[in-house]
A and B are shown apart, each in its own frame.
Chain A
Amino acid sequence: GAGVSQTPSNKVTEKGKYVELRCDPISGHTALYWYRQSLGQGPEFLIYFQGTGAADDSGLPNDRFFAVRPEGSVSTLKIQRTERGDSAVYLCASSLVAGGPGNEQFFGPGTRLTVL
């Protein structure tokens, strides 16, 4: 089957605008994760979903960031009042079940967000 897909692949927006980034996980994967990767850095955890609920949103930088997964499959990361510092690659990952060892997280190709 297909891997994790993310749309759009690139998004350019202006400071202050609202953006939505979409993630389609691997079919059957119950756990879904969002990471942010700034230039020259490793991925940084944002939020984790188990099913429809956000089980850990400790990585969201502030209340301008919000994510949903209403039916336990597709997830949308929403960023309000974008700032230039939000420019990064936003990665989505999914795993069959949650956890660490043995529960590999499969990453999508990411959405490159540029805020002008």
Chain B
Amino acid sequence: QQQVKQSPQSLIVQKGGIPIINCAYENTAFDYFPWYQQFPGKGPALLIAIRPDVSEKKEGRFTISFNKSAKQFSLHIMDSQPGDSATYFCAAWFPGTYKYIFGTGTRLKVLA
């Protein structure tokens, strides 16, 4: 299975809240898991990424938690701001290919 399942489809939080977006995969051959942020009218931009041999990675206010045994990973946004309002996509990379498999996206709205 080369799918990545993402939830929730949409999310609304207050400023300062910690939205959490979850992804799950089936194929244990996936070897790299990036998160992309997409603003309306723009292409996706790489936000943060993790390899499966690491359980957590932090970059600024963004944290990925990775659970290899459960084949799940999640994005946490600390102290969320209205400027974080965007669509977030998880993705997975399959070794030996040059393409990413994307989740269906989560539309995040952070209220001021």
Contacts and interface: CB of A to CB of B under 8 A. Distances in A.
Interface residues of B, number: 25
B98 A104 contact: no
A100 B97 CA distance: 8
Given A56-B98, A105-B100, A91 B43 contact: yes
A43 B102 contact: yes
Contact of B98 (A43, A55, A109): A55
B104 interface: yes
A60 B54 CA distance: 34
A54 B72 CA distance: 33
A110 interface: yes
Interface in B1-50: 6, 9, 31-32, 41-46, 49
A98 interface: yes
A56 B99 contact: yes
A98 B98 contact: yes
Contacts of B93: 100-101
Of the four ranges (under 10, 10 to 19, 20 to 34, 35 or more), the interface on chain A belongs to 20 to 34
Contacts of B44: 43, 91, 107
A48 B101 CA distance: 14
Interface string A1-40: 0001000000000000000000000000001010000001
A78 to B, nearest CB: 20
Interface string B66-105: 0000000000000000000000010101010111111111
Interface of B: 6, 9, 31-32, 41-46, 49, 51, 89, 91, 93, 95, 97-105
Interface of A: 4, 31, 33, 40-45, 48, 50, 55-56, 59, 91, 93, 98-101, 104-110
